[in-house]
Amino acid sequence: MLRITTQVDTGTTTLKLDGRLAGPWVAELERCWRGALDTLGGRLLRLDLTGVTYIDAAGKQLLDLMTCQQTQLLGVGLMAQSIIEEFLRQQNQSD
């Protein structure tokens, strides 16, 4: 299960994730993300991975797409930092 919470501030829109980014939840995140892109109005788009516990291969592909579309990944805590570092390492190896 994945909970997606949207937080809109003056300069940013943040999609906060809690749970597993896997299976049908990848498509749900993509739907929410594309909806957020349509309403940014010049704000920065961030994806907060602090509450993520697992990401499957499809979830990693979506993160790759999102970062190519100028979505910033952020997270606090060991799990989130590990996920972000692994993702960035794999992204750099494929460049």
Structural domains in the chain?
Answer: 2-94 (3.30.750.24)
**What does the pLDDT average to over 36-45?**
89
pTM of the model: 0.86
pLDDT at 95 over 70: no
In tens, the pLDDT along 5-31 reads 999 998 999 999 999 999 999 999 999
Phi, psi of 53 (to 5 degrees): -110, -15
The residue type found at 68 is C
**What does the pLDDT average to over 84-95?**
76
Question: 36: pLDDT confidence band, cut at 50, 70 and 90?
Answer: very high
**Cβ(60)–Cβ(87) under 8 Å?**
yes
72 versus 94: the higher-pLDDT residue is 72
What is residue 93's predicted lDDT score, i.e. its pLDDT? 77
- Residues 30, 72: Cα–Cα separation, whole Å: 15
In tens, the pLDDT along 43-66 reads 999 999 999 988 999 998 999 899
